[in-house]
Amino acid sequence: MTNHISQKLEERQLAGSTRKLLATEGLVDFVSNDYLGLSRSKALFERIKNYDYSQEINLNGSTGSRLLAGNSATAQTLESKLADIFKSEASLLFNSGYVANLALISCLPQRGDTILYDNLSHVCLKEGAFLSKANRFPFRHNDCEDLETKLQQASGNIYVIIESVYSMDGDLAPFGDIISLSEKYGAKIIVDEAHSTGLYGDGGSGKLCALGLEEHIFARVHTFGKAMGVHGAVICGSQELIDYLINFARPFIYTTALPLHSLFSIDAAFEHLAENMELQKSSKEKIFYFNSLFNQKIGKNENMLRMESNTPIQPIVVPGNARIKTIAESLQKNGFDVRPILSPTVKEGLERLRISIHTHNTEEEIAELINELAKHA
């Protein structure tokens, strides 16, 4: 076993793709998923503190799974409120988006069913598909012709799995075409809205609600650890789906529930956003400023290619693990927290800087970052 561990680590080192935990305090944040700056909001912090804890018994932990001691009126009230925000019949809380996706996809499709997933889907979606024992096939990213070919060959109950905003490319799914195809072939659509929640829609309801398409979707997963600045996740769908998950989703049944503080934090984050919807407008303005300045200073450059994205996720492709790591290290030395995304996390040749634009990034900070990038173009 020791030899196996050493061998695998050595392979990573030789490929230049070894992962390490980094502490980069004091740098300007261009890496986190805190798109609206809510994780650092003192106003939100105070709102969470001011909730009434006096009537609660379990202040520090939930003490068990939801089916044992971990349920509460607070959790059920929050689920009802989230269902209203996300315009769904019902919702079910989970400890993270990863766990929510794993739970949903591992227990819903059965042996003989078919899962078709976008090949740039997050790993938790793919692992859920693997655990389901259903037939599973990727289709080329946002390629509806390839999807239709796979739909024609599918059997059993068919599930099409996509994201609304893709975490590495920062692009959107072609919702209209995917909905049309899925309805044509009788497939159910599952959408991970992790990088959409908070950024779009009334009250942060996500991209599908913003487009008025939520009724065409079988299940949606919304997470709170990104633009909402707190922690946890929720699955939205019909009451029948939620009842099914309560009975058959093992990651829900056997996981200790979120503590009271997390429940209050989620509630407070949505209350705060509802009162500060100008944050969505500010996000769009900062993204537009970054894109415009990048085009002006660097433009189209094969050595440093900005992929088209109008979301806070701005991928800058610089092929090669060694080169992208060198650039990231240089940016960090100059005060900018930017991380390299290496192969095999992304396809070889598509290594990149994944730059996140936040409402708390000033125009001066954005300009300084692009000036530093230009030195390596």
**Long-range interactions of 236-241: CB distance < 8 A, separation 24+:** 236/82, 236/83, 236/86, 236/88, 236/90, 236/91, 237/88, 237/89, 237/90, 237/91, 238/88, 238/89, 238/90, 239/89, 239/90, 241/90
Residue at which a domain ends, from 222, 250, 275: 275
pLDDT reported for residue 64: 96
For residues 244-251, average pLDDT: 98
For residues 114 and 192, membership in a common domain is answered with yes
Q: How far apart are CA 321 and CA 344, in angstroms?
A: 10
For residues 79-96, average pLDDT: 98
- Nearest Cα residue to 331 out of 27, 22, 33, 18: 27
pLDDT reported for residue 239: 98
For residues 348-369, average pLDDT: 97
For residues 348 and 219, membership in a common domain is answered with no
pLDDT reported for residue 13: 87
With respect to residue 147, please indicate whether it lies within any of the assigned structural domains. yes
The DSSP code for 210 is: H
For residues 164 and 265, membership in a common domain is answered with yes
pLDDT reported for residue 75: 97
Residue at which a domain ends, from 212, 247, 275: 275
Q: How far apart are CA 209 and CA 85, in angstroms?
A: 9
**Predicted confidence band at 377 (pLDDT cuts at 50, 70, 90)?**
confident
Least confident of 173-182, 257-266, 338-347: 338-347
For residues 266 and 350, membership in a common domain is answered with no
- Nearest Cα residue to 127 out of 172, 183, 80, 192: 192
For residues 203 and 220, membership in a common domain is answered with yes
Q: Looking at per-residue confidence, does 253 or 57 come out higher?
A: 253
Helices within the chain (DSSP H only): 2-15, 42-49, 73-85, 97-107, 123-132, 144-153, 175-184, 207-211, 239-248, 250-253, 260-275, 278-297, 321-333, 363-374
With contact defined as beta carbons under 8 Å apart, do 216 and 178 qualify?
no
Q: How far apart are CA 97 and CA 198, in angstroms?
A: 14
257's tokens? 């529930």
pLDDT reported for residue 344: 86
334's tokens? 């100059």
Q: How many domains does the chain have?
A: 2
With respect to residue 4, please indicate whether it lies within any of the assigned structural domains. no
With contact defined as beta carbons under 8 Å apart, do 86 and 203 qualify?
no
Q: How far apart are CA 158 and CA 184, in angstroms?
A: 12
For residues 240 and 298, membership in a common domain is answered with no
**pLDDT for residue 195 is more than 90:** yes
For residues 235 and 133, membership in a common domain is answered with yes
Q: How far apart are CA 22 and CA 238, in angstroms?
A: 42
- Helix, strand and coil percent figures for the chain, each rounded to 5: 45, 15, 40
| Whole-number Cα distances in Å, 214 to 37, 154, 176, 233, 243 | 26, 24, 12, 17, 20
Cβ contacts of residue 19 below 8 Å, gap of 6+?
A: 12
Residue at which a domain ends, from 246, 275, 304: 275
32's tokens? 């986190």
Q: What is the domain-level CATH number for residue 212?
A: 3.40.640.10
For residues 289 and 246, membership in a common domain is answered with no
For residues 180 and 287, membership in a common domain is answered with no
Q: What is the pTM of this model?
A: 0.94
Query: pLDDT tens, 116-147?
Result: 999 999 999 999 999 999 999 999 999 999 99
Query: Residue 321: which domain range?
Result: 16-39+277-374
Q: How far apart are CA 92 and CA 162, in angstroms?
A: 20
Q: Looking at per-residue confidence, does 200 or 303 come out higher?
A: 200
pLDDT reported for residue 1: 65
With respect to residue 9, please indicate whether it lies within any of the assigned structural domains. no
Query: pLDDT tens, 33-74?
Result: 999 999 999 999 999 999 998 888 888 999 999 999 999 999
**Predicted confidence band at 345 (pLDDT cuts at 50, 70, 90)?**
confident
Query: pLDDT tens, 292-323?
Result: 999 999 998 888 999 999 999 999 999 999 99
For residues 166 and 231, membership in a common domain is answered with yes
With respect to residue 152, please indicate whether it lies within any of the assigned structural domains. yes
**Predicted confidence band at 359 (pLDDT cuts at 50, 70, 90)?**
very high
Q: What is the domain-level CATH number for residue 326?
A: 3.90.1150.10
106's tokens? 């591992």
- The secondary structure element, H or E, covering residue 221 is strand 219-223
For residues 239 and 106, membership in a common domain is answered with yes
With respect to residue 64, please indicate whether it lies within any of the assigned structural domains. yes
With respect to residue 2, please indicate whether it lies within any of the assigned structural domains. no
For residues 274-281, average pLDDT: 98
With respect to residue 225, please indicate whether it lies within any of the assigned structural domains. yes
**pLDDT for residue 17 is more than 90:** no
For residues 326-352, average pLDDT: 93
Q: State the helix-helix crossing angle for 321-333 and 363-374, rounded to 10 degrees.
A: 130
Which position has the token pair 């949505």? 270
The DSSP code for 34 is: -
For residues 128 and 232, membership in a common domain is answered with yes
With respect to residue 44, please indicate whether it lies within any of the assigned structural domains. no
